């Protein structure tokens, strides 16, 4: 894995990219969640060891800079495409989790001919008042965790959010939470509806898979209906025994990426 910093076309805008050194098949671009990236892209050993994978860090989440330039997800999508174009001149596979899923969809809507396929997990983008999902901006961290993880005290949650004994480190974690929620609020506050449905026709020919967590309290699995209706050609699946962190609580995301890349090569 190598890290690259790409200076952007706007003052103060830069992109951090973590990329595998494998060069098999199309570039797979992973966009992280509203909680940020937790190490390598959660795509499994097979994908990470055999494919060309780039985690493109979204500005405002601690590594890439320049979030102040963007107040709308469509504006951010254009800037993210600029960064992707520095990495590959060929069509790419876009993979997104949570907010990254909404952003990947927006990017694909903007440039469908540059997308070989779209794989989303627990994506924001639709809202239904009957099953609104938990308010990540209003809940305390201790109250939101059981909406995010199947086991808030389990190994995955504690690896993502260790409990430091040092008060200074705990303070840094609190500041980090404010930063990432502030960045996310630009695009999914007060409601996580990005008007995707009105532009869904743009993706009619783009291979597409959407995954939901059976126990997701942030992006309820009931929203599968909205995605299936807007994108009737998409494969929409609910993954059992996972919550909002489906890519980390199961190997489903990596499996679907492998299947899509294999199908695209036929």
Structural domains of the chain, with CATH: 2-265 (3.40.50.1820)
| Paired tokens of 164 | 């430091």
- At 50, the pLDDT band (50, 70, 90 cuts) reads very high
Sheet holding 235-239, edge to edge: 2-7, 14-19, 53-56, 28-31, 92-97, 115-121, 208-213, 235-239
DSSP assigned state of 266: -
Over range 152-156, report the average pLDDT: 96
CB-based contacts of 252, cutoff 8 Å, min separation 6: 121, 211, 237, 239, 242, 246
SS3 content of the chain, % helix, strand, coil (to 5): 40, 20, 40
Distance of CA 186 to the CA centre of its chain: 15
pLDDT at 141 over 90: no
Over range 140-163, report the average pLDDT: 93
Over range 131-154, report the average pLDDT: 94
Question: What average pLDDT does the chain have?
Answer: 95
In sequence order, what E strands does 189-233 have? 208-213
Lowest mean pLDDT among 87-91, 129-133, 170-174: 170-174
- At 23, the pLDDT band (50, 70, 90 cuts) reads confident
pLDDT at 106 over 80: yes
């Amino acid at each position: 894995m190598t890290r690259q910093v790409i200076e952007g076309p706007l003052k103060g805008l830069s992109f951090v990219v973590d990329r595998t050194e494998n060069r098999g098949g199309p570039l797979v671009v992973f966009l992280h969640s509203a909680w940020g990236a937790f190490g390598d892209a959660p795509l499994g050993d097979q994908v990470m060891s055999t494919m060309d994978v780039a985690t493109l860090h979204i500005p405002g989440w601690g590594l890439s800079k320049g979030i102040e330039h963007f107040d709308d997800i469509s504006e951010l999508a254009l800037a993210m495409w600029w960064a992707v174009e520095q990495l590959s001149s060929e069509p790419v596979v876009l993979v997104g989790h949570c907010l990254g899923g909404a952003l990947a969809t927006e990017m694909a809507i903007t440039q469908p001919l540059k997308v070989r396929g779209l794989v989303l997990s627990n994506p924001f983008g639709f809202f239904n008042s009957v099953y609104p999902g938990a308010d990540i901006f209003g809940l305390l961290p201790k109250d939101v965790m059981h909406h995010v993880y199947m086991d808030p005290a389990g190994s995955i949650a504690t690896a993502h959010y260790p409990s430091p004994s040092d008060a200074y480190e705990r303070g840094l974690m609190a500041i980090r939470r404010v930063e990432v929620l502030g960045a996310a609020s630009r695009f999914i506050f007060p409601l996580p509806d990005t008007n995707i449905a009105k532009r869904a026709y743009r993706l009619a020919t783009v291979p597409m898979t959407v995954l939901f967590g059976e126990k997701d309290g942030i992006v309820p699995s009931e929203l599968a209906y909205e995605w299936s209706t807007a994108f009737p050609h998409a494969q929409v699946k609910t993954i059992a025994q996972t919550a909002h962190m489906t890519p980390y609580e199961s190997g489903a995301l990596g499996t679907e990426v492998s299947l899509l890349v294999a199908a695209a090569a036929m």
